[in-house]
Chains A and B, each alone.
Chain A
Amino acid sequence: MATTESDLGGPTDLSEKEQRAVEAQLLRLADDELIQAERYTFWQVRAPTLESDLSISNNAQDELGHARLWYDAVQQLGYSEESLIYESDPSDFQHSTLVELPFAEGDWADAIVRAYLYDVAEDIRLSALEDSSYEIIRNRTSRIQGEEGYHLEHAESWLDRMALDEEASERVQAAIDELYPYALTLFEPVGDVEADIDRLGIRTMTLDEMRTEWETRVESFLTELGFDVPTDAAPATPAGRDNEHTDHWHDLHEQMTSSYRNLGRDEATLIMADDDE
């Protein structure tokens, strides 16, 4: 890709319009990863076996690590962790509503199906960002890609196993029917900024192209395992990307920020060393 010609440079090189587009791409990455991780942690000390507990904890921590990298990239544009997460309004977040839905206790099929639908989308999104015209996105994407490959394998191997069991298959099918429309919201636009994101080369695939590839991959894999895929479903509402969320998100945000508020904090603690590019 001829990214060098149109390279946007670093945080201080951006025009107002460019910054708005970069921010919009970064914020959904950060918010999706944080809230997906947050919901994964529900399964810590609740997973079916000690081994599956360890695996899902790994995924949660990987996603938290990615969220941290993306929020850090947003912060380079003049924001803070406090303003982005702990002192923000729930409606400031732009994650897809797929990742904010709560898990019912015991619904491991939901956890695996959600992970699968999300991880395929994440795989496609990262390949659309690996040649981004914004260097920080390019570099961080390549750091993240290795771990995401493992997540996809994890979800697929559980689906392989559950497809062989009648009761588990029914649970998986129910989760697919429920979650598919929410997963489609991953490809919904954030306001009118998408054309700029594409035109500036911040992302090398449009949302439509990404969704088409996702639908093809998801349908082919799940159909092969004997599941029905509701391909004619419309994206769920609220979509999340448009800052409209389910009540579940408001509850989750309230819990996530409860200690920060109760302690009267005005700073989110940093304990790790800074990352060098």
Chain B
Amino acid sequence: MNVDEVKDCAGPREFSPKDDLPEEYRKAATRMLEFHANSEIMGAYLERPFIRKAPSIERKMAFSAKVQDEIGHGQMLYRAAESLGIKTREEMLDDLANGDGKFLNCFHYPMESYVETPMIAFFVDGAAMRRQATLKKSSWEPYAHAMDKICFEEGMHVKHGESILRELMNGSRREQRMTQEAFEEWWPRILQFFGPTDDQSTHHDFAAEVGLKTCTNDELRNAFLNTYIPKAKKYGLEMPDEPRIRDNGDGTYEVVEDDLDWDEFFTVSQNEYDGSIEQISGRRQAQEAVQWVRDMMDDQTTTNSGPQTQAAD
């Protein structure tokens, strides 16, 4: 198939590994999937300290399960990406470790306090849910298929985040104040989750034309704001004066782009922000420390010298 044929046939779950697809399509799909998979891993990396710091056993269990789910999502998405034949999982994980792999803007910022956890688990995951639900109709079938399971689990994560937010906002005044401060700090980053407005986005056109993406950034941002501004208010959060968000009254919003720090956003997206460097190198260090285990497993696979019974994982 050439690119024009792909554009003509593009529809939900239209293409699978048995189709002969042009490199341009396979590269674009790989880029999306790799970004998504990397984001799952780096999101998990950011949240992992709160498994320990969670203020009850049951919250601790929920944090541990959420972090585990995200590693499982990464695993599924890397598999869906590998099936495009452009990059292996190992190459993608190596790129993530050496700072070449890209991932969501929100996961470049440090998270210090428990009151910040719902900013990720409720708002960012809620925003991600919006995008992911539309990807169930992606033209790359393995991507759409992975989304079926991932969306279900993400729904649980958003409930977990909402439960934490509700508890904090029904807690002491001190908890409420700390949560409001965290919200004000995270809100601009959450708005930038959807990227710049459509006319500035570079990769959208092709991905939309071949059915990899089915919604624009603006549509997703509007859908998110429609649901989440009322929810934030319901829990007692006050919307910051800036960035200004104009309600058009017809279910759409305009975010005043000049109120957002796009220099920072592009620094983040190049992995050059302070937080990017810290998160990426922290994870790289952890991965290098267990390189000997992977070397052992590779060696045993190559020389067929591993245990004869089923392999450990």
Q: Which residues of A line the B interface, CB within 8 A?
A: 34, 38, 41, 44-55, 57-58, 60-61, 64-65, 67-68, 71, 81, 85-86, 105-108, 154, 157-158, 160-162, 164-165, 167-168, 171, 255-260, 262-265, 268-272
Contact = CB atoms under 8 A, between A and B. Distances in A.
Given A44-B64, A157-B309, A262 B113 contact: yes
Given A45-B283, A263-B114, A64 B307 contact: no
B55 A86 contact: yes
A38 B58 CA distance: 13
6 contacts: A53-B68, A61-B65, A161-B306, A164-B300, A263-B172, A268-B58
Nearest to A105: B289
B56 A45 contact: no
A86 to B, nearest CB: 7
Contacts of A270: 56, 58
Contacts of B167: 269
Name which of B59, B287, B290 has the most chain A CB atoms within 10 A of its CB.
Answer: B290
Contacts, number: 168
Interface residues of A: mostly helix, strand, loop or mixed? helix
Interface in B236-286: 283, 285-286
Name which of A58, A85, A262 has the most chain B CB atoms within 10 A of its CB.
Answer: A262
A220 to B, nearest CB: 18
Contact of A45 (B45, B53, B72, B300): B45
B300 A161 contact: yes
Contacts of A61: 61, 64-65, 68
Given A263-B171, A270-B56, A157 B310 contact: yes
B307 to A, nearest CB: 4
Contacts of A258: 53
B285 A105 contact: yes
A68 B61 CA distance: 10
A3 B71 CA distance: 45
A157 B290 CA distance: 18
